[in-house]
Amino acid sequence: MTVWARNDVCAVSISPDHGGCGEAHTRPVVKGAPVKVWALTCHGGCEDHLRGNSLWAGTPEGVPETPDETNIRLDVERRGQLEQQSTMASALNDLAKLGDLPGAIAQLAQIMAGSVPQQLTSQPLLLCRNGHRNTATVKFCGECGADLNDGVGKAPVAEVTAGDDPVTPEAGTQRAEPASEPKIDLANLDPETTSLATLKEIASQVGAPTARSKAEQISLIQQAQQNQG
């Protein structure tokens, strides 16, 4: 069977005493240059002798590397690792410029889903039974899934974003009094699922001071609602 030589082997000769044919086998030359892949076929026994030699292989894929080829391969692998690390560091640096990465991803997901983040709009808002803010165009709360049409949620509240010019009533016209907002049903608020931040936001809406615990915050909101009648 045929054997393949390492690229730096130019000639070989196996004597009959060692099981070879005794003739010299040289690497073929094509157009003045030695061929890169040398496949030796000798029926005089040279193949059997060379099959166990470290400079030869039984398949083209198994041909061992020369020392120069090994150094080149290791250098290419090292350069590839350095380039990969540099690319990763550059990508992380670009992501760091976004600030709060989870928030940026959430905002991107909202835009891809066709909904614009609330802070970028001036649409009226609704509070669900658990105090979560939602745009008036949705039917269910985006955080807890509560039905916004069950009459428990807070009536729409207009928000004015930066860049909106306030509307001044013309002379001789009366400013419309804002509609009284229904009280928030604290009995339906679950302290386990409602965050303290949400309770503080509700407190600011009803004119109650903020507290450090959920129970105290709910109590202050109830007192504020009772004072409002």
- pLDDT for 120: 46
Split at pLDDT 50, 70, 90, the class of 176 is low
For CA atoms 98, 103, 105, 111, the dihedral sign is negative
Cβ contact 127:153 at 8 Å: yes
**DSSP conformation letters of 111-133:** HHTT---GGG----EEE-TT--E
Output 84 or 173, whichever has higher pLDDT: 84
Q: pLDDT tens digit string along 33-74? A: 999 899 999 888 898 889 889 999 989 888 999 999 999 999
Three-state secondary-structure class, residue 206:
helix
The residue ranges of DSSP E strands in 69-183, in sequence order, are 125-127, 133-135, 154-157
Least confident segment among 8-12, 64-68, 159-163, 179-183: 159-163
Q: pLDDT tens digit string along 21-32? A: 999 999 999 999
Tell me which long-range contacts 216-225 makes (C-beta under 8 A, separation of at least 24): 218/186, 218/189, 218/191, 221/184, 221/186, 222/186, 225/183, 225/184, 225/186
Output 114 or 75, whichever has higher pLDDT: 75
> In this structure, what token pair is assigned to residue 225?
């609602």
The radius of gyration of the chain's CA atoms, rounded to the nearest angstrom, is 40
